Amino acid sequence: MGRLAMSGEDNLLRLIEADENDENGENNYHLQDQVGFILRKAHQRHVALFASHIGDLTPPQFAALAKLHDIGETSQNQLGTLIAMDAATVKGVIDRLKARGLVEVSKHEVDKRRLLVNLTPEGREAIERLIPLARAITEETLAPLTAKEAATFLRLLAKLA
Amino acid sequence: MGRLAMSGEDNLLRLIEADENDENGENNYHLQDQVGFILRKAHQRHVALFASHIGDLTPPQFAALAKLHDIGETSQNQLGTLIAMDAATVKGVIDRLKARGLVEVSKHEVDKRRLLVNLTPEGREAIERLIPLARAITEETLAPLTAKEAATFLRLLAKLA
DNA sequence: TTGATATCATTTGCATACGAATGAATTTGA
DNA sequence: TCAAATTCATTCGTATGCAAATGATATCAA
């Protein structure tokens, strides 16, 4: 059934079609059931929970500090790969962390293209202080699920990411 | 064990603690296992898939059109509620759709605060043409899961959103 | 009725997020 | 070796996303 040329005056026809579709269920598109839409909402909820516990750092900023704490000094590009940010995004994140004195950057001695990034003592203090809060945020995000459900969810989510 | 006042010169102590932690596994924070980080990556993947199939419309823009197609004319504020966008965000989305002739706005006759939004004929044509592609995107997003896993995942994801 | 509240929309400022273009430096391959 | 391809970082433009402040309008309550 072609709809390409449907004009605005076809309301009656559309209603009839809607009725037909309601019966066979084939043509009703429910945005609220689409994985992308729900994924976006779940992500929004997590970000809001994060902000309510850790107000002065965003999840991407926290991710950068946590990864630097985990692996130590690395290049901006490599850091971006590890925390799933493209070059333009990671630059902005690092710039803001640098402005706040939580990371410091230096030039790579051998490969002059690379910009090395590392925690400052203040950055290390901050991330070590915040990690317990981050654990609590993870718990709270998963709170609507039982422990078994949470494990299942994380396993399946990881397959999609 | 208090870390609040840890300074930058405690590297040796930190390494010893890390060894201890590696043994009992209690204090290692793995960013890549946190639900928020994986959620962000899964969302990124979905947006990328969406862009590869529907290049000239973003997921939020598509959501606005799909919801308007579903419920018909509504206020900008109500639309925002239905597609999970705050007032500032939905305004930008509607402005861009309006500039492209896919929606039109008008003033509410009774309540002069409200801005009514509706599809144009072009907007209706567009969303009806794109819905089949959106179904394919949903399928592709869930492709790493079996049908049973996908059903489980959507059920649990909805609980978190 | 009217003053206090609440709602709707807008604006500003900040922070991701990504595509595309650019330039510098390195690596590869014929 | 050296030209081509690749990598790293930066910049620009566009699009969410949200907090906070503002103005207009509507509703509530004393």
Res B113: pLDDT: 98
Mean pLDDT for A135-151 is 98
pLDDT digits (tens, 9 = 90+) for A61-101: 999 999 999 999 999 999 999 999 999 999 999 999 999 99
Measuring from the CA of residue A89 to each C1' atom, give the nucleotide at the shortest distance.
C17
What are the Cα distances from residue A124, in Å, to A113, A137, B40, B147? 26, 20, 24, 44
One digit per residue, pLDDT tens: chain B, 161 residues?
Answer: 333 333 333 343 444 444 444 445 456 899 999 999 999 999 999 999 999 999 999 999 999 999 999 999 999 999 999 999 999 999 999 999 999 999 999 999 999 999 999 999 999 999 999 999 999 999 999 999 999 999 999 999 999 99
Give A-chain residues touching B33 at CB under 8 angstroms. Answer: 154
The CA distance from A59 to A39, in Å, is 16
- Output Rg (C-alpha) for chain B, integer angstroms: 23
The CA distance from A86 to A117, in Å, is 16
- Output Rg (C-alpha) for chain A, integer angstroms: 23
For a pLDDT cut of 70, what percent of chain A falls above it? 83
Amino acid letter for position B86? D
- Residue A52 clears pLDDT 70, i.e. is over it: yes
To the nearest whole angstrom, how far is the Cα of A150 from the nearest Cα of chain B?
8
The CA distance from A130 to A134, in Å, is 6
Q: pTM of this prediction?
A: 0.86
CA of A14 to C1' of D6 (A): 54
Give B-chain residues touching A59 at CB under 8 angstroms. Answer: 36-37, 40
Give the A:B interface size as CB pairs under 8 Å.
169
Res B27: pLDDT: 66
Measure CA of the first residue to CA of the last residue in chain A; give whole Å: 36
Average pLDDT, chain A: 88
| The two structure tokens encoding residue A131 | 């990690």
Whether residue A42 and residue B161 make contact (CB cut-off 8 A), yes or no, is yes
CB contact at 8 A, A76 and A105: yes
Res A26: pLDDT: 55
Whether residue B159 and residue A152 make contact (CB cut-off 8 A), yes or no, is no
Mean pLDDT for A117-140 is 98
